[in-house]
A and B are shown apart, each in its own frame.
Chain A
Amino acid sequence: MRVITGIMLLVLAAIPAGISSAAEISADNIRFIEYPNFPDAHSTWGSIGYSSQHDKVFIGVTNHRDKVGLYEYDVAADNIRLLGFLPELAHLRPWQWQGKIHSRITEGPDGAMYFSTDGGESREEFLMNHPQGYNGGYFMRWDPAGNRFTNLGNGLRYESIKDITIDRLNGNLLGISYPQGHLLLYDQERNDVRDLGRVASDHIPRVLFSDKFGNMYYDDWRQRLVKYEHDTRQLLFNPDSVAMFANTPGYRIITGITGFAEDKQTGLIYLVTYSSKLIAFYPSRLGFGKMVDLGGVYDGDKAPYDYYCPNLSLGANGKLYYFIGGHGKYAIKDQTVLMEFDPQTRTKRIVLRFPLDTISEVTGHGVADSVGNLYFCGRRRAAGAVDVGESGASRPFMIIFNPTRAIDG
């Protein structure tokens, strides 16, 4: 049964002075899809990924307490379905509750989808061995070929695994724990988790990414790239920080990279930081490749580092698309904006604007299908969800955006 619900989009037409309009992109280019059979769904947290082998999108949706639903969107059939809830899929007991999937859902070389789990609430960080405390996050695997779920085991006790990335050659995973910021290497073949040590403090970066050489990346408190190098199996630290604006506050620097998108043709990886910079990163097999500062994500009346962008995607037209806003921080008062950035000309423009009860925050990194659709996790402000979870009252939905053509729905 098709359970997709297309909703009437409220897209604001007015474009602020000084930024050119984008008449060719309209509400017809974007579509929202609701998650069925989860009435108390609250949010999604970058927990989205695309399976190129199966042409499906996978999303983790949470009630922001103890129930996480795993969804599959079949691109060809235009159908979304609930695969199940993590407690049942992973045989978790109530004391092994998980607040969310905070990681990307990433495709492995074996065609399976990999992700990790997070506590997500204050009780995770503080209650520990209390009956309501948090047992720790898990590495998990969903194999679309056989619809088979595998719990790959715990990382560190009491610690979430905020995000993971994958070595595309051997399937090993690199994760970051929360709150203590330990890099964890999961070796698929040996079924072993190795603690590579703490590389962050206070507010830890939530994003890891990988390149075509099998290298995996994170960033330390100075916003320097940290690389687990495939060929040498060594942890390397770049001596230089990823570019930042002058006078960027330290609390922004330590939060590091918030989004990425890869050009699959060239291997070039675009990064966006918590201090609002766009970067082009040219990875190399050994050592660190070149990084080019592309400028800020938005030119507005705030400090240039003060625009919140926890998402990024690359269109088939070679342009970057990202939504600005979330966690109470917006470029335009009470609006989320969808931006287009041309890396060639380094020009940017607003292409769509949304009130917060339509879109209040967007996550997701470089999730694109073979026909140029870009996928994001969306949240909208929803007063009816005020008693659900932390991080604001909201309802989640999936966003499909195609910058070059209208989407049927």
Chain B
Amino acid sequence: MLNRLLLLSAALLLCAAQARAEYTFFTPEGAFAVEVSLENPGPRLRLPIYRNRITSLAAQGDWAIGGTTAQEGLSPFLFAVSLSAQELKVAHDLTADIPGQRAIRSGFGRVGEALYAGTIAQGEGAGGHLIKTTFNGKEFAVEDLGIPLEGEGIFALTADPERRMLYGISFPHGKFFSYEIASARVKVFDETAITKEQHGYYHRYALTDEDVLSRALVVDKQGRVWGSRPVNRIFYYDPATDKLVTIEEELPTVWGRRPLGRADSWAVAPDGTIYGGNAGDGQLFRIDPVSLRVSNLGKPIMSPRMPGLAFGADGRLYGIAGALPGYAHFFVYNTASGDYIDLGNPRVPLIVPEVDSEFPWRGFQIATVTATRDGKYILLGEDESLSQLIVLPVDGAPAQQWP
């Protein structure tokens, strides 16, 4: 192990020299990447090219559970990575359960030991399915819960484990829906859907449905479900009244760029405060759960997008800022002091079992961020043609500006 670490240190030092750049990579001890995808892998278990964008991700004990998005005409996977073995152990082609699906891009909602997700089907007009999946350490069991909205895929999903409810955003129309697990009853709310006038408005900016729908939903401590709706608005669903409420304040904007606003990611702090990332310009924002005041917390880097947020065991908020045409920066936000620390483009050793020393691996495009249940590790799911899983220990994050 010591030899391995020494080799890695030497390799990273040499690579830094090779790159000739004025920076240091954030590579804390214990960080690693798992090779989830490799085309033509021979005897190794890997996901094939163009079917592996890690668009849904959850941590479950020693396991990272992923759901992928594939190119049109190809089907997605569920997969399981053992974090202790640092290896992909199970890949489950969703075609075996539900043919004709292209994406599991909704994110997972957890109720008990089950994970729920939604799919997007191949082609226009085919409905996406709600799925329930359980993983027993060896294989996935997938239950098809049907198509909640005829002709609509499922763009985003979250779960309220206490109420045993699922909540989603449909695609392409952007309708909000609830699903009662016990009864399989679906209720659809049209208020969040993109109107004809809004389509015209977005057309002026060459924005499509996929660019403007709420990319994520979250349930707060009161059971309210938070998301965004066109144009640049924030809503919540209140289970107490079974109504949608669009709050007065909008997502924070950069002047002139309001059409770009939508919720890219959410995280609820231990004290119940709601944090969100705005895709439009990559601002972090906070919603006071009582006053419903929206605070613009600024942005850690210059790029748009904030595709993932998760709280670590140290109480700080970790996230990814930036995406194409730029690339991801890993950052940490101290909710007490308001300090951001940009930890830069994540680079970690990629574990390749048959090679003696690790490959330095940079995560450029990240679709999903989650934390292990104990908050000790932050998991990043790549959004590439060949996507890997990146694991970063919270322990290694600096307490002050870095490097």
**A interface residue numbers (CB < 8 A to B):** 122, 125-126, 128-130, 156-159, 179-180, 196-199, 201-203, 221-222, 224, 235-240, 246-251, 253-255, 327-328, 390-391
A122 touches B384 (CB 8 A): no
A221 touches B350 (CB 8 A): yes
A180 to B358, CA, bound (A): 19
Find B361's partner among A179, A201, A247 (CB 8 Å cutoff). Answer: A201
Find B350's partner among A179, A201, A248 (CB 8 Å cutoff). Answer: A201
Q: Mark B281-312, 1 if CB is under 8 A from A, else 0.
A: 00000000000000000000011000000000
Given known A203-B19, A249-B357, contact A158–B325 (CB-CB < 8 A): yes
> What are 12 sample pairs from A and B whose C-beta atoms fall under 8 A apart?
A129-B302, A197-B49, A197-B386, A198-B386, A221-B361, A222-B355, A224-B40, A235-B39, A247-B356, A250-B11, A250-B349, A251-B357
Chain A residue at smallest Cβ distance from B13: A251
A254 touches B359 (CB 8 A): yes
A158 touches B40 (CB 8 A): no
In the complex, what residues of A have CB within 8 A of residue B357's CB? 247, 249-251
> Distance in Å from the Cβ of B166 to the closest Cβ of chain A?
32
In the complex, what residues of B have CB within 8 A of residue A203's CB? 15, 18-19, 360
Contact size range, B = 35 or more
Which of A221, A238, A240 gathers the greatest number of chain B CB atoms within 10 Å? A221
Chain A residue at smallest Cβ distance from B344: A126
Binds A, one of B20-28, B192-200, B269-277, B330-338: B20-28
B364 touches A251 (CB 8 A): no
B5 within 8 A of A: no
In the complex, what residues of A have CB within 8 A of residue B189's CB? none
In the complex, what residues of A have CB within 8 A of residue B326's CB? 128, 158
> Distance in Å from the Cβ of A122 to the closest Cβ of chain B?
5
Chain B residue at smallest Cβ distance from A221: B359
B11 touches A249 (CB 8 A): yes
B385 touches A250 (CB 8 A): no
B385 touches A198 (CB 8 A): yes
B50 within 8 A of A: yes
In the complex, what residues of A have CB within 8 A of residue B50's CB? 197
B386 touches A199 (CB 8 A): yes
B347 within 8 A of A: yes
> Distance in Å from the Cβ of A295 to the closest Cβ of chain B?
20
Q: Mark B349-382, 1 if CB is under 8 A from A, else 0.
A: 1101001111111101100000000000000000
In the complex, what residues of B have CB within 8 A of residue A247's CB? 356-357
B61 within 8 A of A: no
Chain A residue at smallest Cβ distance from B325: A157
> Distance in Å from the Cβ of A408 to the closest Cβ of chain B?
39
B7 within 8 A of A: yes
Chain A residue at smallest Cβ distance from B18: A203
**B interface residue numbers (CB < 8 A to A):** 7, 10-12, 14-15, 17-23, 38-42, 49-50, 302-303, 325-327, 347, 349-350, 352, 355-362, 364-365, 384-386
> Distance in Å from the Cβ of A372 to the closest Cβ of chain B?
35
> Distance in Å from the Cβ of B206 to the closest Cβ of chain A?
15
In the complex, what residues of A have CB within 8 A of residue B365's CB? 180, 198
Chain B residue at smallest Cβ distance from A156: B325
A197 to B48, CA, bound (A): 13
A251 touches B20 (CB 8 A): no
In the complex, what residues of A have CB within 8 A of residue B327's CB? 179-180
A250 touches B360 (CB 8 A): yes
Which of B7, B10, B360, B361 gathers the greatest number of chain A CB atoms within 10 Å? B360
> Distance in Å from the Cβ of B367 to the closest Cβ of chain A?
13
A250 touches B49 (CB 8 A): no
> Distance in Å from the Cβ of A126 to the closest Cβ of chain B?
7
B40 touches A202 (CB 8 A): no
> Distance in Å from the Cβ of B105 to the closest Cβ of chain A?
17
B42 touches A197 (CB 8 A): no
> Distance in Å from the Cβ of B108 to the closest Cβ of chain A?
25
A199 to B37, CA, bound (A): 11
In the complex, what residues of B have CB within 8 A of residue A255's CB? 18
B49 touches A235 (CB 8 A): yes
Chain A residue at smallest Cβ distance from B20: A390
A250 touches B40 (CB 8 A): no
A130 to B349, CA, bound (A): 30
Ranked nearest first, the 8 interchain pairs of A and B with the lowest CB-CB distance are: A197-B385, A157-B325, A250-B359, A251-B11, A237-B40, A237-B39, A239-B42, A202-B360
> Distance in Å from the Cβ of B384 to the closest Cβ of chain A?
5
In the complex, what residues of B have CB within 8 A of residue A390's CB? 20
A239 to B46, CA, bound (A): 12
Chain A residue at smallest Cβ distance from B50: A197
Given known A203-B15, A250-B11, contact A197–B384 (CB-CB < 8 A): yes
Chain B residue at smallest Cβ distance from A240: B42
> Distance in Å from the Cβ of A247 to the closest Cβ of chain B?
5
Given known A250-B352, A250-B355, contact A202–B20 (CB-CB < 8 A): no
A236 to B39, CA, bound (A): 8
Given A197-B49, A202-B360: 14 more A-B contacts, CB < 8 Å: A122-B22, A157-B325, A179-B327, A180-B364, A197-B384, A202-B361, A222-B38, A222-B352, A222-B355, A222-B359, A237-B40, A238-B40, A249-B357, A250-B349
